[in-house]
Amino acid sequence: MLPILIIDDDTDDLQLIKLALEGTGFDHPVISFSNPLSALGYLRESYKELLCIISDINMPLMDGFELHTELRKSRYAAVPYILLSTSGSKGELALAKLAGIHDCLTKPPSYDELVQLLTGLLLELKASGS
């Protein structure tokens, strides 16, 4: 199964997302980074195919939109890119659509809701052939 790459500077959120992905029942390996620059370095040296990339929006050094811009210049340009936002503002959603980002999802307040959100996302990606 193709791995899922997660980038979030909040290590607690990163662990929660990893646990929630395990809770979906899908058996995709998870690769995670708390620093977007480290994730970019890994991707430049790796030739792994990915199911998707899930990134936080607000991170120091490089935000999720800037990371997406860099990835569009790479062999990972066609990999579905999903932003996770704590605010879910309409401005973020509109900017994500304009940037060609696959989806922009609001981080739910509970683990169970996060599992449901990620399960729906994985089912959508599988249905679309990603």
Asked whether 83 and 103 are in contact (CB, 8 A), the reply is yes
What's the one-letter identity of residue 58?
A: N
Half-sphere exposure of 30 (CA within 13 A, CB side): 21
**Averaged pLDDT for residues 5-19:** 94
Q: How far apart are CA 78 and CA 27, in angstroms?
A: 22
Which domains are present in the chain? Answer: 4-127 (3.40.50.2300)
Q: How far apart are CA 81 and CA 84, in angstroms?
A: 10
| Confidence grade of residue 86 (pLDDT, cut at 50, 70, 90) | confident
Q: What's the pTM?
A: 0.91
- Beta-carbon neighbour count of residue 66 at 10 Å? 12
| Confidence grade of residue 47 (pLDDT, cut at 50, 70, 90) | confident
Q: How far apart are CA 125 and CA 129, in angstroms?
A: 6
| Confidence grade of residue 108 (pLDDT, cut at 50, 70, 90) | confident
